[in-house]
Amino acid sequence: MISLPIRWPIGTMSFLLVPLFILLTVSTPSWGQSSDNTSPKASDGTLFPWNKMRLPEHIIPVHYDLMIHANLTTLTFEGTTAIEITASRPTSAIVLHSNHLQISKATLKKGAGERQSEEPLRVLEYPPHEQIALLAHEPLVVGLPYTVVIDYAANLSKTFHGFYKSTYRTKEGEVRILASTQFEPIAARMAFPCFDEPAFKASFLIKIRREPRHLAISNMPLVKSVTVAEGLIEDHFDVTVKMSTYLVAFIISDFKSVSKMTKSGVKVSVYAVPDKINQADYALDAAVTLLEFYEDYFSIPYPLPKQDLAAIPDFQAGAMENWGLTTYRESSLLFDAEKSSASSKLGITLTVSHELAHQWFGNLVTMEWWNDLWLNEGFAKFMEFVSVSVTHPELKVEEHFFGKCFDAMEVDALNSSHPVSTPVEDPAQIREMFDDVSYEKGACILNMLRDYLSADAFKSGIVQYLQKYSYKNTKNEDLWNSMASVCPTDGTQNMDGFCSAGQHSSSSSHWQQASLDVKTMMNTWTLQKGFPLITVTVRGRNVHMKQEHYQKGSGTAETGYLWHVPLTFITSKSNSAQRFLLKTKTDVLILPEEVEWIKFNVGMNGYYIVHYEDDGWDSLTGLLQATHTAISSNDRASLINSAFQLVSIGKLPIEKALDLTLYLKHETEIMPVFQGLNELIPMYKLMEKREMNEVETQFKAFLIRLLRDLIDKQTWTDAGSVSERMLRSQLLLLACVRKYQPCVQRAEGYFREWKEADGNLRLPNDVTLAVFAVGAQTPEGWNFLYKKYQSSLSSTEKHQIEFALCTSQNEEKLRWLIDESFKGDVIKTQEFPDILRAIGRNPVGYPLAWQFLRENWNELVEKFDLGSPAIAFMVMGTTNQFSTRAWLEEVKGFFSSLKENGSQLRCVQQTIETIEENIRWMDKNFDKIRLWLQNKKLELL
């Protein structure tokens, strides 16, 4: 699943439209704690025979026959589930999951064929664990085949998970209803009674009853359609392969589709609402290309006859990898050639590549339990980079991938972070696993391992892993064991990395001698939270290295964590990467000759940051000022990031970090410019919430002067590569929002023409964001944009308008926008988290966003779910730029009052830590920034 805000086009830039905040939710009522020492009471007051949140392991599902009949008028559905099971020990209680299903009848069939006997089962329900127990008259016999048949009914869910209602409006204004599913992680139980844990894999035969005017699709192709009554058709789908319940999917709609075949004969189709099917071609071509790439890369054929991609009008996550029927937000799949932005093209390609990677990582081989979710998500996130860099080289995905590592480090530096693999049990904890650590950090440490082993050795390790565990479940260590013996021994392959360490110069001899213990090495990255800070001191030819746990915050206790860090470095004398494996707290390497500068973490392939002691930073700042292109754009971005991370822990003065950014006057590449903005913009956002107007104004002026040459060079067109276009879009937006007059005047002219043409004038896509943001500053412009929003069929245009509306300085309009998007009539509720966060970043709107979160907390949890990324996104988005003690106390007071309905959430701990850090940072650095700005630094520009 693509979850969490995917921060494109730009990382954490606070003023930005993030065209796609990609979030996941799945639901449950409030949960009781699992208590192993008490006997729970079923809803009828009798003792429930099981007291754990995890199901017992002695009943094994083998196959499900599922019949679902939905009524899209009454918004209800009924179903019959027949589950073939076996018992590994005698038991008379069959415990499985069910949530909000009204069960009318349950029977047990014993044996197979004509000799089957049938008996009624007593049904007990235990809602706190979303479990039911089916009680038989006598214990099940070990090894015999049994079938449990359950009849039930339910309402279509009003949330974004389970079997839920979605709607869309046609061009003519008619509202149409469809029903779709989102089961990951724990919502299959809202659609049918099942063993809803990833390790209980089984096959599924699905039948859907529908009206003739509708179309049903599911994981497998349609086998036949039978008329069961007048106006009622039953579609029979082929039997699935063995898979987990969270991957089951079915949709009843009036979608249209377009299709193509892959070289190996897999039928790929894109489904969308009729008015938008003309936007499906880009995703269809990308899906065919990517599916062919993965079949080749993994050396394992895609096992199903078809792969459908469906754009769902209401969808909280970005996308979901249901086997054979992947589902998406419309903005994650549909590309309007006239209006979609460059970042939209990149985002759609990455999202499709992510979900198709899951068909192997996640679907074919599945984590045993949610504690190892990163085996699914970290891999799919990493494979976006591997696949798209080959299939769509023009997108230059490598210029965007590494920013994700900085995003992950942002939360991983906090005490409230967690190891990549971490124990979870209750639903809120499971949902909290869908975060930057599972996705982004997971991807970044895999990239680091690939760089360490070599691309070929890494690939052979994961192919071995997939082949060995196909249709099974795995744990963390299974992956490392598959990686352990992958180096070729014949010495014929020309590779970079550990496996070819013999090719490296004497300075990397430490790497050669290291025994290849992938498991021990990677356990240091997956079983402990955080990441290392490497401090480098150069003494002549000797380079002294020290590692420690990088932690923000005052009074954080030293953890004593050590990592096996695959260091890489270049120097003023050698631009080919040298390698050194640091396994101890300190070590020394000897260079062949003395150097003017040394730069570690070549190309940002490592998940660590580096501090250069003595004059190390001065040397690198001098290098950037003189000839910044001597090192790669990724290396320049990582220096910017490291410098400001070091300011946070008092290792580097803020003045030195600001001095380093002055070189950006000459920068033209997207990665370092975006990273500079990611560091500098939050500084004035903190000032906005402290009412430090004078310095805030000076700082904003400094930022525009720093980038003025680059801003002035931007053409108001759609010319150039995807990266150049994304850079243009964000620079013009920044310039206009910061009221840089040449930008504002041009945008006003464009907006005037666009409005006079009633929105029918085609604007260059890359400048639309800036034009709309300027246009939204007048009441007439704002109202006109909202009118156009209602009729637009383009996801990009809707996102651009949405963002522009959120930049208004009119409190009344901002309050109305929050209320309307939560109501969900015109602006869909799926957009609400984005809107609340955008208004939470608005200097006028942030108190309104925080007030709404506090006053509507229970409704938000009901809609989006405790522990979900959507809730985390809103909590952080409304509070994590506060930087005063008064705000801190208000935030602490509110969340502690929630008790079990929110106070324990990780995002709450994260935001409190972040506010405390903001306060410390501002107290320590504000006066220094004020003096630095005054101290003739502007003359350098």
| Catalytic residue ranges | 355
The pair of structure tokens assigned to 658 is 């600001």
Instruction: Give the single-character DSSP code of 274.
Output: G
Residue labelled with tokens 């008064």: 886
Please report which residue ranges of 495-557 form alpha helices under DSSP H.
Answer: 509-513, 518-526
**In Å, how far from its chain's centre is CA 727?**
22
Residue type, 741: Q
Residue labelled with tokens 């009853």: 209
| CB-based burial label for 119 (10 Å; 0-12, 13-18, 19+) | exposed
What are the strands, taking DSSP E only, across 267-403? 267-272, 306-312, 319-320, 325-329, 365-367
Please report which residue ranges of 136-181 form alpha helices under DSSP H.
Answer: none
CA–CA distance, 784 with 796 (Å, rounded to integer): 17
Q: What is the signed CA dihedral for 365, 371, 376, 379, rounded to 10 degrees?
A: -120
CA–CA distance, 396 with 336 (Å, rounded to integer): 21
Contact between 321 and 359 (Cβ < 8 Å): yes
CA–CA distance, 274 with 266 (Å, rounded to integer): 24
H or E element in which residue 481 lies? helix 476-483
**In Å, how far from its chain's centre is CA 241?**
27
Residue 394's alpha-carbon distances to 32, 289, 293, 399, in angstroms, are: 51, 14, 16, 11
What is the spatial order of strands in the sheet that 609-612 belongs to? 586-590, 542-549, 532-539, 609-612
Q: Peptide bond before 9: cis, by omega within 30 degrees of 0?
A: yes
Determine how β-strand 598-600 pairs with β-strand 472-474: unpaired
Count the alpha carbons within 13 Å of 645 in the hemisphere toward its beta carbon: 29
Contact between 1 and 184 (Cβ < 8 Å): yes
The pair of structure tokens assigned to 392 is 């769509």
The pair of structure tokens assigned to 882 is 């506060």
Please report which residue ranges of 691-829 form alpha helices under DSSP H.
Answer: 693-713, 722-737, 741-756, 765-775, 779-791, 795-806, 811-823
- Give the Cβ contact number of residue 442 at 10 Å: 27
Q: What is the signed CA dihedral for 582, 586, 592, 593, rounded to 10 degrees?
A: 130
Contact between 170 and 182 (Cβ < 8 Å): no
Give Cβ neighbours of residue 520 (< 8 Å, ≥ 6 apart).
Answer: 564
Contact between 355 and 380 (Cβ < 8 Å): yes
Buried b (16+ CB within 10 A) or exposed e, 347-358: bbbbbbbbbbbb
Residue type, 626: A
Contact between 634 and 667 (Cβ < 8 Å): no
- Give the Cβ contact number of residue 320 at 10 Å: 28
Determine how β-strand 267-272 pairs with β-strand 256-261: antiparallel
CA–CA distance, 861 with 856 (Å, rounded to integer): 9
Contact between 374 and 421 (Cβ < 8 Å): yes
CA–CA distance, 734 with 703 (Å, rounded to integer): 10
Give Cβ neighbours of residue 539 (< 8 Å, ≥ 6 apart).
Answer: none
Instruction: Give the single-character DSSP code of 202.
Output: B
